[in-house]
Structure 1
Amino acid sequence: MSTDEIVVEHLTKQYKRLRAVDDLSFSVRTGRVTGFLGPNGAGKTTTLRMLLGLVTPTSGQATFGGTKYVDLHDPLKHVGAVLEASSAHRGRTGRNHLRMICRAAGLPDSRADEVLTIVGLTPAANRKFKGYSLGMRQRLGIAAALLGDPRVLILDEPANGLDPEGIRWMRDLLKALASEGRTVLVSSHLLGEMQLLADDVVIVAAGKLIRQGPVDEVLGTMGTGAHVRVRTPQAAELKAALSELNATATEQSDGSLMVVGAEAAAIGHAAFTASVELHELATERGDLEQVFLQLTAGKAGIR
């Protein structure tokens, strides 16, 4: 097991008559962004709080490389987390807010300026927190989570309050952090964005695990994996050429062909060999939102 891998084992949380999390098990691999998805009331936030030792499980455990959060040495340097938009003293500047956290954690004040640069808040570093927009507060929260240069990052709805440019910035930042070998777990309702961001997904409903795996694999098991859109004035000839690849070409209402069972390069080669003229050849991924709705249909979130 990697020292940075998150492992959730038979995690359960019972609140009197309400079971918020029900025998939940999953893992989050290093070097990848994992999307934590589920309808409202699915138990996502409760699970994240148990991961961070803020809620005590009724049974089961959650660990980082085999160690519970409360047993980590210098947890800020191992795990960075944002469970809601950053809160701070309204009259304190963003820079001073971060410097206070640095001093409490034994980090140099200079680290505050470094993370302000990473999250794009340097121009607002000396503005008071009360003047920060929701998007700026999100960035400040992420800056705080990065202060210890953690190997694991846990974010709950980090795109709330961000404009389209900010969402793209967030996506690029999290992908870059994962590419450095960090473990990134992100909870979000923005399924279209999660399809662009996540390498893996963990889907829960009513406190239970519904599906886990790489995004393409999850899409594929629901019949919505990657496919190739082709446009050609010689559809019949292309279908004949593709039959040798054991690929299926289905004509769409717009006149294009949707090909399943062969990659774009193989389709292009088959068309070239058969002297078939192509006007379009594009790989399209399945729809994570469609899969999510299919998997969670009839599994109402816990209220």
Structure 2
Amino acid sequence: MTAPGTDEIVVDRLTKQYKKLRAVDDLSFRVRSGRVTGFLGPNGAGKTTTLRMLLGLVTPTAGTATFGNQRYTDLTDPVRKVGAVLEASSAHRGRTGRNHLRMICRAAGLPDTRADEVLELVGLTPAAKRKFKGYSLGMKQRLGIAAAMLGDPQVLILDEPANGLDPEGIRWMRDLLKSLAANGRTVLVSSHLLGEMQLLADDVVIVAAGKLIRQGPVDEVLGDMAGGTQVRVRTPQAEQLTAALSELNATVNPAQDGSLLVHGAEAAAIGHAAFSAGVELHELTSERGDLEQVFLQLTAGKAGIR
């Protein structure tokens, strides 16, 4: 393994034992800078425990969780290195969003003007003078992200950041995190919204019962599992096409909607085989695997209790 970059997250043989429960079990993975990494797993998989160990909130039984080669507790200026949101923002009910952020700025030695900058970043400027007690759950999520971004950190860690957000808010979140990663930041996101993760993440780390199940770029994970890419074909001559594709060693299965799902052959090869056999085609579409399908396949029977 190559030496980690200073902004990479490195989890190395991490273990956490609670009496008879092993919440995290010899877990290792790396989160690269300049990419969004989805941290996925069923309830009880050990995701939140892992994040809490990474942020120094829980002491590992064994192993390490570091940023480059430094533990969070050893960082000289953590607010400028790492921003994290493990739950919706909490603040005094009678304090405005702006004043809440300004208090954090003063504690961290940051200028008050930074509060207005991050409020603009998360789209909360119109609600800056509104008291926290009047914030919706989605607004609290945005305020939490604003607080995490106060130090302009190079690493951002978010646990279920889309909770309470409407579809527009989820799309806003996706665009924000992608832009942060595009600017070179390291972004780790834990979420149960698998459809959103397929749109958002560059890489995924999938865990179950405290163990690593699969990691890698999303396209690679989808391609390796569930038969990889499939091609959907519609034709009034299904039997003739199936016979023609047997020469390509392709697998052909009928779908419920009357189409054929072909594995083991590219769309161009299927089209050529159909043309040579005189088979009329009404549809020829390559389809990428679905992250939810892959996730369920990988974690079946492996959910834990946290």
* TM-score of the pair, normalised by structure 2: 0.89
Match of 1:74 in 2: 77
CA distance in 1, matches of 2:279, 2:89: 57
Number of equivalent positions: 302
SS, match of residue 298 in structure 2: helix
Say whether the 8 Å CA contact 2:16–2:60 is kept in structure 1. yes
- Equivalence for 1:147: 150
- Distance in 2 (CA, whole Å) between partners of 1:174 and 1:204 is 22
Unaligned stretches of 5+ in structure 2?
none
Shift of 1:159: 0.7
Report what 1:199 is aligned to: 202
Instruction: Report the Cα offset of residue 260 of structure 1.
Output: 3.1
**Tell me, what secondary structure is at the counterpart of 2:63?**
strand
Q: Does 1:56 align with 2:59?
A: yes
Q: SS state of the match for residue 114, structure 2? A: helix
Question: Which residue number corresponds to residue 186 of structure 2?
Answer: 183
Does the 8 A contact of 2:244 with 2:274 survive in 1? no
The amino acid across from 2:37 in the alignment is T
Distance of 1:219 and 1:17 partners within structure 2: 35
| One-letter code aligned to 1:208 | K
Name the CA distance, whole Å, in 1 between partners of 2:183 and 2:115. Answer: 21
Pairwise CA distance, 1:47: 0.5
Q: Cα RMSD between the aligned structures?
A: 2.4
Match of 2:109 in 1: 106
Mapped partners of 1:245, 1:73: distance in 2? 60
Corresponding position of 1:117: 120
**Residue 137 (str. 1) matches residue 140 (str. 2):** yes
When residues 129 and 284 of structure 1 are mapped into structure 2, their CA distance, relative to the original with a 3 A threshold, is same
Structure 1 residue 225 displacement after superposition: 2.7
Shift of the alpha carbon at 1:110? 1.8
The Cα shift of 1:73 comes to 2.3
1:25-75 superposed Cα distances (whole Å, 9 cap, x missing partner): 111111211111111111111100000011111111011111111111211
Q: Report the alpha carbon displacement of residue 93 of structure 1 after superposing the two structures with TM.
A: 0.7
- Aligned-pair distance for 1:16? 2.2
Q: Report the counterpart of residue 294 of structure 1 in structure 2.
A: 297
State how far apart, in whole Å, the 2-side matches of 1:68 and 1:96 are: 31
1:169 aligns with 2:172: yes
CA distance 1:103–1:294, change in 2 (3 Å): same
Answer yes or no: is the 8 Å Cα contact 1:224–1:287 preserved in 2.
Answer: no
TM-superposed CA distance for 1:158, in Å, is: 0.5
Q: 1:122 to 1:18 in 2, by over 3 A?
A: same
Query: Structure 2 counterpart of 1:45, which letter?
Result: T
> Which whole-Å deviations, capped at 9, do the CAs of 1:233-252 have from their partners, x for residues lacking one?
56677668867876555443
Please point out which of 196, 217, 228 is paired with 2:231: 228
Partner-residue secondary structure (3-state), 2:52:
helix
1:95 and 1:159 map into 2 onto residues whose CA distance is: 22
- Equivalent in 209, 212, 231 of residue 209 of structure 1: 212
Asked if the contact 1:271–1:277 (Cα under 8 Å) also holds between the matched residues in 2, the reply is: no
Instruction: For 1:52, give the aligned amino acid.
Output: L
Residue 36 (structure 1) aligned with residue 39 (structure 2): yes
Return the letter of the residue paired with 1:102. Answer: C
1:260 to 239, 260, 263: 263
Distance 2:20 2:243 in 1: 61
Which runs of 5 or more structure 1 residues have no equivalent in the other structure?
Answer: none
Which moved further from structure 2: 219-228 or 117-126? Answer: 219-228
Q: CA deviation at 1:292?
A: 1.7
* Letter matched to residue 122 of structure 1: T
Give the aligned partner of residue 218 of structure 1: 221
Q: Tell me whether 180-189 or 212-221 shows the greater mean CA deviation.
A: 212-221
The SS at the match of 1:291 is helix
**Quick one: which amino acid aligns to residue 203 of structure 1?**
I
Residues 86-112 of structure 1 deviation map (CA, whole Å, 9 limit, x = unaligned): 001111111111111122222222221
Give 1:269 shift: 7.3
> Residue type matched to 1:216 in 2?
D
Distance 1:69 1:235, change over 3 A: same
Q: Which amino acid aligns with 1:91?
A: G
Contact 2:226 2:293 in 1 (8 A): no
Q: Distance in 1 between matches of 2:67 and 2:283?
A: 47
CA distance in 2, matches of 1:281, 1:146: 46
Residue 21 of structure 1 is aligned with which of 21, 24, 30? 24
Which region of structure 1 is more displaced relative to structure 2, 44-53 or 252-261? 252-261
